[in-house]
Amino acid sequence: MTAADVKTTQTDVDPAAWVEQLEWPRRREHGRLLLEVFGRVTGEQPVMWGPTMVGYGEVHYVSSAGREGDWFLVGFSPRKANISLYGLQGSARSDELLAQLGKHRVGAGCVWINKPEDVDLSVLEALIREAWAAVE
């Protein structure tokens, strides 16, 4: 896979401006909250990746299949049906913390929540902190 094959890359879109133009008012609120939480925990500025993902940090990866590219360390996407949280799995404590998070579903590369009110935000912060520290 070459860099030309990578479909999701960094953009110049301002994440805060993107959140403000979301179609769904509740998702705008959720996006503002997540911008604050992820920014505070990571100490980084958010970057848009593709048209719908807000990411923090960056890592170059090579997969077991030999594909390589750049990706963000942790991030989120407030979508219509749910909120996708990226990069929170795989740290030494992620399973323990996910069990304490609250209402969520786990996929191969992300954690889905319906709304921040469904989860313990202090546990979400711990998940972000652990994931961030595991990669640094």
Largest Cα–Cα distance of the chain, in whole Å?
Answer: 41
**What pLDDT sits at residue 8?**
81
Q: Residue 6's pLDDT is what?
A: 57
Residue 135 confidence (pLDDT): 80
Mean pLDDT along residues 76-87: 96
Residue 86 corresponds to which tokens in the numbers above?
A: 């990226």
Kindly state the percentage of the chain with pLDDT values over 70.
95
Task: Report pLDDT digits (tens) over 31-54.
Answer: 999 999 999 999 999 999 999 999
Contacts of residue 98, defined as CB under 8 A and 6 or more positions apart, other chains included, come to 88, 89, 104, 106, 111, 127
Distances (CA, A) of 6 to 15, 22, 27, 50, 68: 21, 25, 27, 10, 9
Whether 62 and 68 have beta carbons less than 8 Å apart is answered as: yes
Instruction: Copy the structure tokens of residue 100.
Output: 């304490």
pTM: 0.91
- What are the boundaries of each domain within the chain? 3-135
As assigned by CATH, the class of the 3-135 domain is alpha beta
- Per the structure block, which two tokens stand in for 84? 């996708």
